[in-house]
Chain A
Amino acid sequence: MSRLQKLVLGRLFLGILTLFIVSALMFIGIELLPGDLAQQILGQSATPETVAAFRAELGLDQPPYVRYLDWLGGVFRGDFGTSLASRRSVADLLGTRLANTMFLAVYAAVIAVPIALTLGLLAALWRNTAFDRGVNLGALSAISMPEFFVAYVLILFLSIRFGLFPTLARIDEASSLGDALYRTFLPALTLILVVVAHMMRMTRAAIINVLAAPYIEMARLKGVPRWRIIVRHALPNALAPIVNVVALNLAYLIVGVVVVEVVFSYPGLGQLLVDAVSSRDFPVVQAVGLFFAAVYITLNVLADVISMISNPRLRHGR
């Protein structure tokens, strides 16, 4: 097995291991919690019988590892347990919401990635010009603002003052694609603004890093045309960091979705997760949290693996 394969497999293994640890996190956490969980949720006034019944429902009368293995077995069969709040199966609750969240994230990503890469590239090429400084200031402000601030400013101007878009992003299966795109434009725009800022800054840094390398200076000194330096010399080496940047920011997007969904009452996973945390609906929190963590970890592993594969120095053993 080559060195590269070993590295990639090792990274994959670490990713999967992390996922298992995260999935066990809630079980460990409940175990470490001082006092009795059932008692704490039901309050001091609950009768011992109710508490006992609730404990049995949560499975707290079983040892933690039995509970965990039970749950894990269910997950592999697509059974995530039953929601404590709505009494419906968690898998049912997740179904359409999962699709909605992915729709919003993909919508934002498709627009954000090309814009961010172009802006980052231009800012790096025209370094220290008015354009660069302007884009940078804009990006720094967008990063410093909480997502909900950006979202409400957009609502205030685009939907209240000018009445262009709806304030709430309610969609269901009946809405057509065009209608859904129109209704979810504001949440998507919020995500785009925040993600573009991050991605553009990272792209700019990655390209400046490559352009500062001695071989670029060499090419310039021997009189290679500017476009050829960028396309033939800089781009092949900047590609790996850029792909890395895109993957990391898509991972960021998946998390940013939570706050934005709450602002626009969008029926997605983020909203579900927040509701479940406030009502302490453990099976739902567990399933949704695991989903978000899984996507995040997958994208991060992907970023690492791509940068390993694209590094020719790792392709041969020493």
Chain B
Amino acid sequence: MVKLLKSAPPTAIAGMIVLFAVLLTGILAPLVSPYGETQVVGGAYQPWSRAHPLGTDNLGRDMLSRMIYGARNTVGLALLTTGIAFSVGAFLGMFAALRSGWLDEVLSRMVDVLMAVPPLILALMLLAIVGPSIPNMVGVIAVIYVAPVYRLARAAAMNVVGLDFVEAARLRGEGTFRLLRREILPNIGSTLIAEFGVRFCFVFLFIAALSFLGIGIQPPTADWGSMVKENATLITFGDITPLIPAGAIALLTIAINLIVDWMLHRASGLKS
């Protein structure tokens, strides 16, 4: 493990440090934040000071504390959503590859339709129907991102299901679920993990964009996307405070992209 980390290029190391710092902040949010998530601590739009290092927001809540809780909420929800999309998509994809036949056909055509529509527009249409709320948003985004994961898992599993050891396991009398878990999943795992990083970035940016538009994570929950929206007026006075949550989103996405690039590079076996 140490040897592996030593072989990583500086860009990937920087990415890992940022990712680790954000995760740690998110997990320890109640311990490290000076004030509560929704606690009103003073007047609105106070400038940076010793008591409030990043000032206060449009309702007089401490910006720094909301940034810290935002790490927990935005990243946590993005992880949850990606997790759901991955478990469902990977399961269906592997299942379709193993079973083939009409089930594969039906699932694949449904996925084709899902992928033919721009994700943001599809999400907006679905959210108009179910109404904006956190569980609805997680559900809608998960449904949308099941499609690409399904495609990838199905394509990867297709290469495996025809191999002899799967046939042998099947003849041994192993059930479908055991086949999926013990024979197919271990062989497509590395492909799926690299894809998880890529998809997580998309989902994370997606949640931030929806929250920014006011139809994702709803107030008073702190999250980086809606914090930009709520305090956007400050920018017209030349104050950079609203750019901090937006910058945090960009920083985390770049960090993950750097790590994923390195992982893909390693997996492809290319020498630089």
Contact = CB atoms under 8 A, between A and B. Distances in A.
Interface string A158-198: 00110000010000000000000000000000000000000
Nearest to B117: A293
Interface residues of B, number: 43
A15 B112 CA distance: 11
B215 A152 contact: no
Contacts of A262: 212-213
A146 B205 contact: yes
Contacts of A281: 128
Interface stretch (B50-58, B181-189, B242-250): B242-250
A18 B113 contact: yes
Interface stretch (B62-70, B87-95, B118-126): B118-126
B209 A160 contact: no
A262 B232 CA distance: 12
Contacts of B121: 255, 258, 273, 289, 292-293, 296
A297 interface: yes
A146 B254 contact: no
A26 B125 contact: yes
Contact of B125 (A15, A143, A289): A289
Contacts of A215: none
A149 B118 contact: no
Nearest to A142: B250
A58 B175 CA distance: 49
Contact of B257 (A14, A140, A273): A140
A48 B35 CA distance: 45
B136 to A, nearest CB: 11
B214 interface: yes
Interface in B194-211: 201, 205, 208-209
A153 B243 contact: yes
A277 B254 contact: no
A144 B256 CA distance: 9
B127 interface: yes
B130 interface: yes
Contacts, number: 138
A295 B249 CA distance: 29
Given A141-B254, A149-B249, A259-B212, A293 B118 contact: yes
Contact of A274 (B215, B236, B246, B257): B215
A40 interface: yes
B132 interface: yes
A141 B253 CA distance: 9
A149 B235 CA distance: 12
A30 B257 contact: no
Interface string B208-244: 1100111100000000010010001001111010110
A277 B127 contact: yes
A147 B126 CA distance: 22
Nearest to B110: A21
A251 to B, nearest CB: 7
B254 A285 contact: no
B131 interface: yes
Nearest to A141: B254
Interface in B128-168: 128-132
A25 interface: yes
A2 interface: no
A279 B112 CA distance: 30
A280 B128 contact: yes
A292 B113 CA distance: 15
A145 B209 contact: no
Interface string A127-161: 00000000000001101111111001101100011
Given A149-B247, A149-B249, A292-B121, A30 B129 contact: yes
B270 interface: no
A160 B235 contact: yes
Contacts of B120: 255, 258-259
Given A22-B113, A145-B249, 10 more contacts: A26-B128, A145-B250, A156-B238, A258-B120, A259-B213, A277-B128, A285-B124, A286-B125, A292-B118, A296-B117
> Lowest 9 A-B CB distances belong to which pairs?
A149-B246, A144-B253, A145-B250, A29-B129, A255-B118, A285-B128, A144-B254, A289-B125, A292-B121
Interface of A: 14-15, 18, 21-22, 25-26, 29-30, 33, 40-41, 140-141, 143-149, 152-153, 155-156, 160-161, 167, 251, 254-255, 258-259, 262-263, 273-274, 276-278, 280-282, 285-286, 289, 292-293, 296-297, 300
8 contacts: A140-B257, A145-B246, A152-B228, A255-B120, A278-B132, A280-B128, A286-B125, A300-B116
